[in-house]
Amino acid sequence: MTPRGPLVALAALLVAGAPARAQVPRPSRPAPADTTRPAPAAPADTTRRAAGDTTHRAPGDTTGARRDTTPVPDSLRPDSFLPQLPRLGAPPGPMPKNGRFVFDHDALWFSGALDLAELLQQIPGVFLVRAGWYGRPEALHYAGQGAASLELYWDGFAIDPLGRDSAGIDLSTYNLGFVNRVEVEVLPTVIRVYLFSDGQAVRRPRTETSFATGDASTNTYRVRYLNRWKDGLGLGVGVEFLGTAAGNAASGHSNDLTIWGKGSWIPSPRFGVEYQALSTTINRDAFAETLPSGAADTIPNPGSHRTDLFFRGFVATRDDGMGLRFDALAGSTSYTDSAAVLNRNELQGATVVAYRAGRWSGELTTRVRDGSTPLELQLRGALSPFYGLTVSGSLDRKSHVGARRSTDASLGAELRPFPGLAFHGVARMRSVVARPDVLTDTAQRVTDVSGGVALTSRGADLDVTYARHGAFTAPLYGVFDTVVAAYPSLPVRTVTASFALRPTLFLSLSGWYRHPLDPVTSAYEPPHHSRLAATFRTRLLPVLRRNAFDFTAEAAVEAWSHGAMGVDGSGNPIRLPGAMVVDYRLEMRLLGAALFWTVRNSRSELYSLVPGVAMPHVAQRYGVRWEFTN
């Protein structure tokens, strides 16, 4: 696609724009999850935890103190609220504890995360691999699975990797400026991330302006505009820019520009259509690194341009999200780089047939592509046969070019004999092709299991999980393949403990610790890995007008011991040095404005996550976000 592609797409949106109908959030105090029945996927915002919904908030998130934190404009008539498209994300209904994490609007606002990668650091066991300063490539590793650690969806549209390796996704290119909710489905060896784009819920225009600066001329700018009209039309457009001069730990500049547009028409909660365009242009200089042999090298890092365009429509039999629903998606993705080496295009289409009842739900997705995976079938279901028991599972069947097949099945359950005690477990069995685009790659058979016990009370949560993942040769990721030959995953048993303490309404302490029980050389799975966060947040909603004032101060510590980054061409492990990184964050909200200040690696720890690429220290950013109705 030419550089004019995103501008043409946005122009089309302005002509044919269409909306999304909103949901009326109901104030409520979340109680411990009750597994009596699945929570209905009604237009109501699911940040309110209804009976049977075992969704869990982001680790350490205590926003459910007294009221739903979704911002509601004041002095609006009931007929100002319009419905939105139903979410296409993790399986609806109950899931085992720690099987799903939700970052709602409030959690995203106060996360302090610059992009999606920083947000996912809060998931227990995630290891985020950065190649230097802001704007550099970022890869997520989970349970030693390399590029197979992550699956990403944007409003139900699969974000397939089309970059240099066609295997991994660079999370640094996905900012949170156009997202109002993130749901994370966690299985023993994969994390499925569902991004839900922002949309205006009421018939009132909304605008956001945001700018920030920091060390090494790290500047970010964002402008958004959203609106809804009485006839069901809606529009959302936005631009975000990130530029940096790299800083004291790397050389070279980086500039990222993202353009987003969405139009929708939803005249009824039972049917509607939506069109979206997401275009990202990246210009990054090459940067120096050190090969495992000790020789100096330069990692080529050509600029790239990716555009995703897709259309979605739905019809439903009921207004409340229950009953039968049918969704259809069709779209295209194009990817090019400035070196004129890659020029890839992919067409994608999907249909979703879903049914939701009081105690069970089912969903069948058929996805077709014109790439290396022409056909994919996915069946999901959730069941709560009686109080205290929830069961959920999925079955994925993929057909690849070269007459190859991949099968991925999972089954999870939670038994809650008492309100504060839960036993949970998940099994994942797969026979999958790690690199469908490589015709010589064949399926690997792997079985992964996890199980644990959780204690929940008003002031504290504790979960201890035992897991075992099998041997799996994971695909490489991006620019790292020049220095790391493979990301091996060996049969390893691990123990992960996560906790949250809430001694007062204003203070919370949360974190997790992960420890492999076997000697390992799996990539980015060190013997000891932990993250701890202490958060102070004023909670004046019962006293002051909603969003009138809020203040957050947080200190987070992440530490890991010596491990391995992977293996080199000779099969020898590449050493991962241990480190301890301390971050700080301050944020103050005044009505629709938020002032923030963050410091990364405040202790000036000298470490690297890619051979020979030093990480920055004392990386400061500060700025303001202002969201207002016109």
How does pLDDT run across 422-475, given as a tens digit for each residue? 999 999 999 999 888 889 999 999 999 999 999 999 999 999 999 999 888 888
What does the alpha-carbon distance between residue 73 and residue 70 come to, in Å, rounded to a whole number? 10
Rounded Cα distance between 588 and 595, Å, is 5
Is the confidence at residue 286, as pLDDT, over 70? yes
Reading the block at residue 518, the tokens are 């076997």
Percent over 90 (pLDDT), the chain? 47
Q: Give me the pLDDT at residue 14, please.
A: 36
Burial string for 360-384 (b: 16+ CB within 10 Å, else e) reads: bbbbebebbbebbbeebebebbbbb
Whole-angstrom distance, CA of residue 411 vs CA of residue 428:
7
Strand spans (E) along 85-189: 100-103, 126-130, 138-142, 150-154, 157-158, 179-187
Rounded mean pLDDT of 51-71?
45
What residues does 210 pair with on adjacent strands? 222, 625
- Three-state DSSP state, 415: strand
Among 122, 285, 287, 134, residue whose Cα is nearest residue 219: 134
Residue 41 has pLDDT above 80, yes or no: no
Q: Find how far residue 616's CA is from the centre of its chain.
A: 24
For residue range 264-280, list pLDDT tens digits in order: 999 999 999 999 999 99
| 483 Cβ contact list (under 8 Å, min separation 6) | 289, 290, 291, 292, 297, 299, 574, 610, 611, 612
Per the DSSP assignment, residues forming a β-bridge with 43 are none
173 backbone dihedrals φ, ψ, rounded to 5°: -85, -5
- pLDDT (mean) for 42-55: 37
Residue whose entry in the numeric block shows the structure tokens 């038994």: 415
Q: Which residue has the tokens 């397939």?
A: 160
Q: What is the pairing mode between strands 492-501 and 507-516?
A: antiparallel
Residues in the chain: 630
Counting Cα atoms < 13 Å in the Cβ hemisphere of 623 gives 20
Is the confidence at residue 298, as pLDDT, over 70? no
Helical segments of 1-88, H only: 5-16
Of 66, 16, 70, nearest to 43 by C-alpha is 70
Q: What's the confidence (pLDDT) of residue 301?
A: 65
Rounded to whole angstroms, what are the CA distances from 341 to 121, 280, 344, 358? 33, 18, 10, 53
How far does the chain reach from its first CA to its final CA, in angstroms?
A: 35
SS (H, E, C) 74-117: CCCCHHHECCCCCCCCCCCCCCCCCCEEEECHHHHHCCCCCEHH
User: CA geometry: angle at 161 spanning 226 and 292, to 5°?
Assistant: 125
Question: In degrees rounded to 5, what are phi and psi of residue 540?
Answer: -110, 15
Residue type at 404 in one-letter notation: R
- Position 567 scores a pLDDT of 84
**57, HSE (Cβ side, Cα atoms, 13 Å):** 26
Specify whether the CB–CB gap between 203 and 77 falls below 8 A: no
- Split at pLDDT 50, 70, 90, the class of 253 is confident
Distances (CA, A) of 277 to 5, 214, 428, 477: 10, 30, 34, 26
| Residue 44 C-beta-side C-alpha neighbours within 13 Å | 15
- The rounded mean pLDDT for the chain is 82
DSSP bridge pairs for 228: 234
CA distances (Å), origin 246, targets 217, 348, 554: 8, 36, 25
- β-strands 56-57, 100-103: how paired? parallel
Integer CA distances (angstroms), 241 to 171, 210, 251, 284, 609, in order: 15, 10, 20, 13, 26
Cα separation, 401 vs 409, in Å, equals 21
**pLDDT, average across residues 78-88:** 79
Of residues 185 and 106, more confidence is placed in 185
Residue 200 has pLDDT above 80, yes or no: yes
- Measured at the alpha carbon of residue 541, what is the angle toward residues 21 and 320, in degrees to the nearest 5? 25
Residue type, 202: V
The reported pLDDT for the residue numbered 50 is 33
pTM > 0.75: yes
**Rounded CA separation 66/30 (Å):** 8
Name the percent of the chain lying above pLDDT 70: 81
Tokens representing 597 are: 């200040």
Given this model, what pLDDT does residue 291 score? 61
pLDDT over threshold 70, residue 202: yes
